[in-house]
Amino acid sequence: MADYAPLGPTGCPRPPGLQSHPLELIPFFRRWPQSVVRDLVYTVIWNTLFALFFALLAIAIDPETPLSAALRNSFVFAQCIGFMIYAGFLIGDRIVHKGIHQARMWVRAVYYAVIPILGVFPGYLLAFWILRWRNGYEWLFAPRSIISIVALSLVLTGLLLLIFVPRERAARAEATIAREQARVAAAEKETTTAQLKLLEAQVEPHFLYNTLANVVSLVDGEPALAKRMIERLIALLRATAAAATGSATLGGQVELLRAYLEILELRMGARLRWRIDLPAELAGLRVPPMLLQPIVENAIKHGLEPTVDGGALTVTVRRDDQRLLLEVADTGRGIRATAPRDAPGLGLANLRARLAAQYGSAAHIEVSDNAPHGTRVALALPLDALGDGASAAATLAVR
């Protein structure tokens, strides 16, 4: 039947106000983000599906209709009408901007119904011109045809609204939930930060008191040594204040340790020997503040100071695949001699809590014996969670 005409419009390809496309009902078509090119391709596919539907419907109504003619005519009409409706929504959104998306439901329903109806008639006219159907104009503007076209347009638009309005409401609800979750997460982060600050504030004060007492005892007899101790104490306090303001580099924390250990060396003399190994390429890594300090303080207080001969302290930092490994080892009394009375110490317990709050199970702390005697504390942090600060200085002093 050469003069076969489709029974109705293709419907709305994508009401832009709903920010979706009918094809996105199929999970496969949700893989690609919205764009002009994607919407054009999706509209071609959507129109083609309508063309297949109306071609099969025409053959079902009139089995004598040639399949090729039904497919050709349906395809031309579907593409012309579909893209006219698509263009109508683009122009409509330019005119009303975002106001239509915030209007009442009945206003939006009228908007989404009127534009497809207005797009159907120029789409038909364009298809008649392409197919060179001279009698198409009379058919299109016949009262019966107008009524059937308007009715079918309203039905198809209503079906699309029934599909997309619930999806839009669900999307808005999800956005509200996401904003609330973000607010809760921000509040939890602030709470965690406050807890970390409290934990960091629990620094052993006796070190400061003992150092000042040593300075007083040295002022008269050894003023040069007292001056040196005050200088290192100032350096230590300055580094501690800088570390408490936020994340710190490994290089900065090692400088803090150096000032701390130099003060202890002035106090303990030959009873304390220490060494710090930090590769230059790792010195710029940003790590939690006061990371090594509590471990070194534990090693001195519980391991080396109580012994008559003192001992050696070694701090080693290295990279192992995707982990940052930090190790503090001493040759003091060892964990068996200190447990359970004063091990593992408040500083180490606070450090465990801080790392658990920041990295969860990705961070590990292991306390073990150090052969032939002493204690070894090993930390493992995920490298992908550490920021890379500015390049630090060369490898810090090896003593």
Q: For CA atoms 366, 371, 375, 378, give the dihedral sign.
A: negative
- Which region, left, alpha or beta, applies to residue 54 given φ > 0 means left and ψ of -120 to 50 means alpha? alpha
**DSSP per-residue letters across 51-106:** HHHHHHHHHHH-TTS-HHHHHHHHHHHHHHHHHHHHHHHHHHHHHHTTGGGGS-HH
Query: With bands split at pLDDT 50, 70 and 90, how would you rate the model's confidence at 326?
Result: very high
Q: What is the DSSP letter of 330?
A: E
Q: What percent of the chain has pLDDT over 70?
A: 78
Fold of 202-388: Heat Shock Protein 90 (3.30.565)
Evaluate if pTM is beyond 0.75.
Answer: no
* Distance linking the first and last C-alpha atoms of the chain: 98
Give the whole-angstrom CA distance, residue 184 versus residue 193. 14
* Tokens coding 392: 């630090």
Domain limits of the chain? 16-191, 202-388
Alpha helices in 220-292 (DSSP H): 223-243, 250-268
pLDDT at 17 over 90: no
C-alpha angle 300-304-305 in degrees, rounded to nearest 5: 80
- Is-cis flag, bond preceding 372, omega within 30? yes
Give the whole-angstrom CA distance, residue 382 versus residue 370. 24
How large is the average pLDDT for residues 271-277?
Answer: 92
Query: With bands split at pLDDT 50, 70 and 90, how would you rate the model's confidence at 65?
Result: confident
Query: What is the structure's pLDDT at 216?
Result: 87
Query: What is the structure's pLDDT at 5?
Result: 42
Highest mean pLDDT among 26-35, 269-278, 340-349: 269-278
CA-CA-CA-CA dihedral for 227, 228, 230, 236, to nearest 10: 170
How large is the average pLDDT for residues 3-15?
Answer: 43
Give the whole-angstrom CA distance, residue 354 versus residue 135. 82
pLDDT at 72 over 50: yes
| Tens digit of each residue's pLDDT (9 = 90 or more) over 213-265 | 888 888 888 888 888 888 888 887 777 666 555 557 888 888 888 888 988 88
- In this structure, the strands spanning 272-277 and 323-330 are unpaired
| Tens digit of each residue's pLDDT (9 = 90 or more) over 85-131 | 888 888 887 787 666 666 777 777 787 778 888 888 888 889 888 88
Q: What SS3 class is residue 346? A: helix
Give the whole-angstrom CA distance, residue 202 versus residue 293. 12
Helix, strand, coil tally for the chain in percent (to 5): 65, 10, 25
pLDDT at 394 over 60: no
Mean pLDDT of all residues in the chain? 77
Q: Which has the closest alpha carbon to 7: 80, 82, 77, 84?
A: 77
